[in-house]
Structure 1
Amino acid sequence: MNKGILLKACVCVFFSVVLLCEALPTPPPGTDPKRGGLLGQRTCSQGLYPSARLCCLNCPAGEHQVSPCSSDRGSSVCSECPMGTFTEHSNNLHTCLPCTRCRPDQEEVQPCSPTNDTVCRCKSGYFCALEQPCEVCQRCRSCKDGEALVKSCTAHSNSECAKTPTPGTPTKALWWILGVSVFAVGGVFCVWVYKKRNPWLTCLPSPSPGHSQQNDDDSLLVPLNGEKSLKLCFEYFHVDMESKVHKRFFRSLDLSDNAINNANIEDRVYELLGVWLQREGQVATLHHLLRKLRDLDQNRTADSIVEKAIDNGHYERVVIPPLSGKSDE
Structure 2
Amino acid sequence: DARLGSAAALKERTNTSDLLEPDLYSKKCPPGTYVSNTSSKCSPCKRGEYTEYPNDLPNCLPCHTCREDQVELSPCIATRNTQCACRNGTFCSPDHPCEMCQKCRARCPKDQVEIAPCTPHSDLRCGPPTDTSSSSGVSTVAVVVSILVVVVVIVLGVCLWKQCFSHRAAGEGGERSSKPGSVVNRLVLRLTRCCWGGMGMRDNDRNKQIEQEQGLLPAARGSGLEVGHSLGGCCWTFSFQQTSPVSSNPTAEARKKLVPVPGEDPVVLLRRSFDIFARSVPLKDWKRFGRALDLLENDIDQAELYNKLLGEPIFQVLNVWLNRQGTNASINTLLGTLSRIELSGVAGDIASKLVQEGYFQYEVS
Q: CA deviation at 1:201?
A: 5.0
Residue in 1 that maps onto 2:260: 222
Q: Aligned to 1:157, what secondary structure does the other structure show?
A: coil
Within a 5 Å distance, the mapping from 1:129-144 to structure 2 comes to 129-141=93-105, 142-144=107-109
Which residue does 2:276 correspond to in 1? 236
SS in 1 for 2:67: coil
Contact 1:126 1:140 (8 Å CA) reproduced: yes
Give, in whole Å, the separation in 1 of the partners of 2:362 and 2:64.
43
How many percent identity over aligned positions? 28
Write the letter of the residue equivalent to 1:274: N
Following superposition, which runs of at least 4 residues in structure 1 exceed 6 angstroms of deviation?
165-170, 172-175, 191-194
Contact 2:29 2:35 in 1 (8 A): yes
The one-letter amino acid of 2:353's match is K
- Matching residue of 2:303: 260
Letter in 1 for 2:114: L
Structure 1 pair 171/127, CA: closer, same or farther in 2 (3 Å)?
farther
**3-state SS of paired residue (1:263):** helix
Q: Is the 8 A contact 2:66 2:72 kept in 1?
A: yes
Read off the aligned partner of 2:91 and give its amino acid letter. Answer: F
**1:62 alignment partner in structure 2:** 32
Whole-Å separation in 2 of the counterparts to 1:122 and 1:192:
64
Match of 1:248 in 2: 288
Which structure has the greater CA radius of gyration?
2
Asked whether the 8 Å contact 1:223–1:230 carries over to 2, the reply is: no
Which residue of structure 2 lines up, in the alignment, with residue 277 of structure 1? 322
1:121 aligns with 2:85: yes
Q: Give 1:221's aligned amino acid.
A: V
> What's the CA shift for 1:59?
4.3
For the residues of structure 2 that align with 1:173 and 1:243, how far apart are their CA atoms?
51
Distance 1:150 1:299, change over 3 A: farther
**8 A Cα contact 1:151 1:159, kept in partner:** yes
Change (3 A) 1:168 1:264: closer
Question: Structure 1: any 5+ residue segments left out of the alignment?
Answer: 1-46, 49-56, 70-75, 180-190, 321-329
1:319 counterpart SS class = coil
Which residue of the other structure, out of 46, 66, 90, is the alignment partner of 1:102?
66
User: What's the offset of the Cα at 1:261?
Assistant: 2.4
Tell me, yes or no, if the aligned pair for 1:105 and 1:137 is still in contact at 8 Å. Answer: yes
1:88: which partner in 2? 52
Larger % of helix: which?
A: 2
Report SS of the residue matched to 1:272.
Answer: helix
Q: How many residues align?
A: 242
Gaps of 5+ in 2: 1-21, 145-201, 216-243
Deviations 1:44-75 (A, max 9, x none): xxx89xxxxxxxx5544312344434xxxxxx
TM-score normalised according to structure 2 size: 0.54
> How far apart are residue 134 of structure 1 and its match?
0.6
Closer/same/farther in 2, CA of residues 167 and 128 from structure 1, 3 Å limit:
closer
Q: Quick one: distance in 2 between partners of 1:173 and 1:307?
A: 49
Q: Which residue of 2 aligns with 1:159?
A: 124
The aligned amino acid for 1:62 is G
Distance, in Å, in 2 between the alignment partners of 1:173 and 1:87 is: 58
Distance 2:103 2:47 in 1: 33
TM-score (norm 1): 0.59
Letter in 1 for 2:315: Y
